[in-house]
């Protein structure tokens, strides 16, 4: 069993799409997957077909039962989110003497039921993201090939170094490029990718996620990619990435 956090403090990098894509590829391989939505925007929850949520990941972190749902997308489970996570973040701070360990403690009771637990982190390095990194075995960072992406990468890596004082077993799985246009020949994109490769070495993953309308369409319909568009290029890309994750 492996707990994986997908994180980047910059929004619009494809975190939710990557959680769904990686999960879809793993489910197609027969793996038992639990999705956890820690983002108050709840895109992961809605992408899995859930719209009306009363029990959330914040409730799960405080020890409440019946927070794990079988999603409408099929053959997977979900701990959902809604916008109440905005207000509940401050409540979590006073819930425990060690609020940063709440998710790890809660997962200890259920993790043996799954092969992979995939956590969608919010685009902020607050209490939810810290809980995710302390609960995780490995974290991955999705990035676009844009100028400001490098700045976001450095900030995430700085915070994770601090988190390692609380989770010494946390591994950095690597960075992968998302939302890459199949015909992108921009010099700046090539230069940024080259710069990231030079900075990260082996931690730059040879998995490029191409832009594909199938991702948005599947989320609107509350379906996973392997059901909605099994032959799409983005499904092919996430299958390649899932294989890298399995072998790491």
| Pairwise pLDDT comparison (145 vs 78), residue with the higher score | 78
What mean pLDDT is predicted for residues 153-179? Answer: 87
What pLDDT is recorded for position 148? 67
Q: At 245, is the pLDDT very low, low, confident or very high (cuts 50, 70, 90)?
A: very high
> Could you tell me which of 95, 97, 43 has the C-alpha nearest to residue 215?
43
15-36 pLDDT, tens digit per residue, is 999 999 999 999 999 999 999 9
Query: What strands, in cross-sheet order, belong to the sheet with 69-70?
Result: 69-70, 77-79, 33-37, 116-120, 2-6, 138-143, 171-180, 204-210
Strands 77-79, 69-70: pairing kind: antiparallel
105-140 pLDDT, tens digit per residue, is 999 999 999 999 999 999 988 899 999 999 999 999
Does residue 187 surpass a pLDDT of 80? no
Does residue 146 surpass a pLDDT of 80? no
Cα–Cα distances (Å) from 127 to 132, 209, 213, in that order, read 9, 29, 33
- Write down the number of H helices and E strands in the chain: 11, 8
Does residue 191 surpass a pLDDT of 90? no
What mean pLDDT is predicted for residues 207-221? Answer: 94
Does residue 185 surpass a pLDDT of 60? no
What pLDDT is recorded for position 153? 75
85-100 pLDDT, tens digit per residue, is 999 988 898 888 889 9
Q: What pTM did the predictor assign?
A: 0.94
Domain ranges, ordered by start, for the chain: 2-247
So what's the architecture of 2-247 in CATH? 3-Layer(aba) Sandwich (3.40)
The residues facing 210 across adjacent strands are 180
């Amino acid at each position: 069993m492996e707990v994986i956090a997908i994180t980047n403090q910059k929004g619009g990098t494809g975190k939710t799409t990557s959680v769904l894509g990686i999960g879809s590829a793993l489910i197609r391989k027969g793996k038992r997957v639990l999705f956890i939505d820690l983002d108050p925007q709840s895109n992961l929850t809605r992408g899995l077909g859930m719209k009306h949520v009363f029990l959330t990941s914040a409730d799960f972190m405080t020890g409440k039962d019946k927070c794990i749902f079988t999603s409408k997308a099929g053959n997977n489970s979900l701990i959902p989110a809604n916008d109440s996570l905005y207000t509940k973040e401050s409540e979590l701070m006073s819930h425990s003497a060690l609020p940063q360990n709440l998710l790890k403690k809660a997962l200890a009771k259920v993790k043996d039921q799954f092969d992979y637990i995939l956590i969608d982190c919010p685009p902020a390095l607050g209490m939810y993201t810290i809980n995710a990194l302390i609960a995780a075995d490995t974290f991955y960072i999705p990035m676009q090939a844009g100028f400001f992406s490098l700045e976001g990468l450095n900030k995430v890596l700085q915070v994770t170094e601090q988190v390692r004082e609380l989770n010494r077993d946390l591994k950095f799985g690597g960075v992968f490029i998302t939302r890459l246009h199949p015909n992108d020949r921009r010099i700046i994109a090539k230069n940024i990718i080259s710069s990231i490769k030079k900075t990260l070495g082996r931690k730059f993953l040879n998995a490029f996620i191409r832009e594909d309308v199938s991702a948005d369409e599947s989320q609107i319909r509350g379906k996973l990619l392997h059901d909605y568009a099994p032959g799409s290029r983005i499904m092919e890309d996430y299958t390649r990435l899932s294989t890298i994750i399995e072998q790491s």
